[in-house]
Amino acid sequence: MSTDISPLAPKTYAELPAIEGVRIETAAAGIKYKGRTDVMLMVFDRPAAVAGVFTTSKCPSAPVDFCRANLGGGKARALVVNSGNANAFTGQKGRAATELTARSAAAAVGCSENEVFLASTGVIGEPLDASKFATVLNDMTASASGDRWLDAARAIMTTDTYPKVATRTARIDGVTVTLNGIAKGAGMIAPDMATMLSFIVTDADIAPAVLQAMLGRHVGSTFNAVTVDSDTSTSDTLLAFATGAAAGRGAGRIAEVGDARGRAFSKALSSLMEDLALQVVRDGEGARKQVEITVTGAASARAAGRIARSIANSPLVKTAIAGEDANWGRIVMAVGKAGEQAERDRLAIWFGDVRVAVDGERDPAYSEAAASEVMKRDEIAIRVDLGIGRGKARVFTCDLTKAYVEINGDYRS
């Protein structure tokens, strides 16, 4: 966790209301960091519906394996998250740590171990001493309360410079339901699944299969549309929980994917997920600029996505942005190397509202001064039109600065 807050950090944090059916507590277990909280516990006093999406890494962490095994049950009573150690690439010791944590959480909450969900973030390859926080779970369960969302977001931070929180509301059968979410992530961000770590809770009464379908529907345009450094974590986890408490106020149960009453909720969920995903980009390690890459006119949406990511992940593009250099030649390079259909003489490129290239060459009306003004902004939009089809995609990223190298060069020290 950095002491220098990102210049793109929010000026104020959203105020997240308590959600009926979930209680939260944090603790300092000394896993890696000194003088700060590093364990977060969510307690669901009644079984909550749960859905999740996880990393596509072929070297997933032990907690990811654990959650995947429990997800089929569709019910959750506890979530335990630690920072400072990813419990990844830790072999049998890693599995033993998840087993100890789950056993301790189940005993503290009074539930089955298959109703416990886990997540860990931090250093890869270092064994996690789960006994450090397993011993505090009883006290955490007793003192947990509903209004600890900002504390929860702080406890799961690693190289993040600020906590990431968001809230939304929706109406079901005329009743207002609430969605709260937290996230962490600043580096090793190219989630080909969901996000780094993100946890969403609602009081809506939604069946696990419906909640899972909604996560799957929205993840592509939100968490899967962000990249900081092109590296997919071993630990990426997105979990959503529905306590169902709003049913007591008259909000009916959403039990089928096609239920029209779930549309407003689905829209609110998408908005919440995008908010959290963009906060991660804005806290990219060393980041000073948020960048939106839009590709249109591609042969397909898939092709547009690959081209957009080629641009967003290019170190040459990202360092040019850091240097406030309107170097559209690097955009051309990134388009050309993406491996998708492109025709040089149909290509057009914009920085903000300034068209810098058209028909495969520099725009005749190109203004270096106007393009340079765009590059000085904190938020920069880059658009590329390939002129060959209807495929389009949008990806969010950030610049690449010297601070990124410094942060990651010192990460384990």
Binding-site residue numbers for substrate are 158, 184, 195, 285, 408, 413
Binding-site entries: 158, 184, 195, 285, 408, 413
Q: Tell me, letter by letter, the H, E, C secondary structure of the chain.
A: CCCCCCCCCCCCCCCCCCCCCEEEEEECCCCCCCCCCCEEEEEEEEEEEEEEEECCCCCCCHHHHHHHHHHCCCEEEEEEEEEEECCCCCHHHHHHHHHHHHHHHHHHHCCCHHHEEEEEEEECCCCCCCHHHHCCHHHHHHHCECCCHHHHHHHCCCCCCCCEEEEEEEEECCEEEEEEEEEECCCCCCCCCCCCEEEEEECCCECHHHHHHHHHHHHCCCHHHECCCCCCCCCCEEEEEECCHHHHHCCCCECCCCCHHHHHHHHHHHHHHHHHHHHHHHCCCCCCCEEEEEEEEECCHHHHHHHHHHHHHCHHHHHHHHCCCCCHHHHHHHHHHCCCCCCHHHCEEEECCEEEEECCEECCCCCHHHHHHHHCCCEEEEEEECCCCCEEEEEEEECCCHHHHHHHHCCCC
Query: Among residues 59, 27, 22, 54, which one has the least CA distance to residue 40?
Result: 27
Phi and psi at residue 297, in whole multiples of 5°? Answer: 70, 20
**Would you state the structure tokens that stand for residue 176, as one six-digit string?**
């207002």
Q: Give the active site residue among 161, 195, 227, 237.
A: 195
* 195 given a catalytic annotation: yes
End-to-end, the C-alpha distance of the chain in Å comes to 13
CA 21 to chain centre: 24
Catalytic residues: 195
